[in-house]
A = this chain, B = another copy of it.
Amino acid sequence: MGKGRFEAFSDGVIAIIITIMVLEIKVPHGSDFATLLPLFPVFLSYVLSFIYIGIYWNNHHHLLHATHKISAGNLWANLHLLFWLSLIPFSTGWMGENHFAAAPTALYGVNLFMAALAYWLLQYSLICSAGDSSILKKAIGGDIKGKLSLLLYGLGILLAFQIALLSQAIYVAVALMWLIPDRRIESALKEDR
């Protein structure tokens, strides 16, 4: 199976997820800036989730760039990732509306953890299809960033009930870590030429 429609479908779903999140920022009744104040945490959580979805799109793009054929297993691994990403508008909205309270902060962490796990599974299933000697395998390598993210999300979930603010700081830190683009695949591709 070619990867054209696979990419197009993933792009479509990710584009919709990143855009419908804004529907959680409900237009307030009242025409002065004070009515916007309660929306500020909703806005902040929107910014964070926008960046996360952007990171996933970016990394997904790099991952597929180094892939040529898609198996049925890859397809379901991809849908599994899209499933967890599709829940981000919900967990973002709950966290924003409750001003970063303990339980919503933990749930947001669980959502990020599951999405990262699903991404790891997709990566693993793509490597399995491509073979051990593939560029992808070389490009991913030890995947320290991926493993570290899972660990940090886990830490964030545990800390949410003690110091929710620290959990938030961890989520922001992981996002910043990923904003630096994944040069591994690009450099492995270059070496291969």
A residues engaging B (CB < 8 A)? 1, 5, 7-9, 11-20, 22-25, 27-33, 36, 47, 50, 54, 57-58, 61, 65, 72, 75-76, 79, 82-83, 86-87, 89-90, 93-94, 97-98, 101-104, 107, 179, 181
Contacts and interface: CB of A to CB of B under 8 A. Distances in A.
Q: Max chain B CB contacts within 10 Å: which of A54, A82, A101? A: A54
Contacts of A75: 58, 181
Contact of A93 (B1, B14, B27, B101): B27
- Counted per complex, copies of this chain come to 4
Given A1-B61, A5-B61, A18-B82, 4 more contacts: A9-B57, A13-B15, A13-B19, A16-B19
Contacts of A98: 30-31
B22 A90 contact: yes
A11 B86 CA distance: 16
B94 A27 contact: yes
A124 to B, nearest CB: 19
Contact of A11 (B5, B65, B89): B5
A188 to B, nearest CB: 14
